[in-house]
Chains A and B, each alone.
Chain A
């Protein structure tokens, strides 16, 4: 099965700085990599995703990069704001019909005002 490792487990940045969270996956057959944001006591919500045929995707202050050769992908948040504070989870999904997601262990991002 797939295995996803996520680093760092905690990250503190000053408001306005950038934050980067990295994930590695084990199965080269994975073809879909979503990122979820989970605020305290709330449900995970998709913030951005990338497919294996794309190297980078950007949505306003959020971007994701994918390196298939190295089997790692990263979330980049620029101009961080206090409301970006949350736990971020990466995930990977194997190609095939089942479409299960394997999640990383999460990164607690704290944006200091």
Chain B
């Protein structure tokens, strides 16, 4: 089966600019996650969707980050305006969701963001 797709793979922007990342989960996966992975750290959950509804966005810096998952499939994550500390790899993951209590999360290749 095709994996989780993300684009772009790399992005370099200046601080205060805007950027958007795109994720296409595995077909049929109801749950989609966005993680931020700062160099040398584990992934940190930013937001979780179940279909097109938000399940958890408690760690999303809502003053600058936004995310949407229209039609319950693809998702976009936006940062506006970017700060230096936003430099990280942004990982998208998906899982079957629904009633699967221990469903594996499959990760995409990530987008490496550098803010200068």
Residue positions of A touching B, CB distance < 8 A: 4, 6, 32, 34, 36, 42-46, 49, 51, 89, 91, 97-106
Please indicate the chain A residues that have their CB under 8 angstroms from the CB of B42 in the complex: 4, 6, 89, 91, 103-106
Report the separation of the CA atoms of residues A13 and B91 in the bound assembly, to the nearest whole angstrom. 29
Beta-carbon contact of A101 and B102 below 8 Å: no
Residue positions of B touching A, CB distance < 8 A: 4, 31, 33, 40-45, 48, 55-56, 91, 95, 101-105, 107-110
Q: Do most interface residues of chain A lie in helix, strand or loop, or is the interface mixed?
A: strand
Q: Do most interface residues of chain B lie in helix, strand or loop, or is the interface mixed?
A: loop
Q: List 24 A-B contacts (CB under 8 A).
A: A36-B107, A43-B91, A43-B107, A43-B108, A44-B43, A45-B107, A46-B104, A46-B105, A49-B104, A91-B42, A98-B55, A99-B95, A99-B101, A100-B33, A100-B45, A100-B48, A101-B43, A102-B45, A103-B44, A104-B42, A105-B41, A105-B42, A106-B41, A106-B42
Smallest CB–CB gap between A91 and chain B, Å?
A: 8
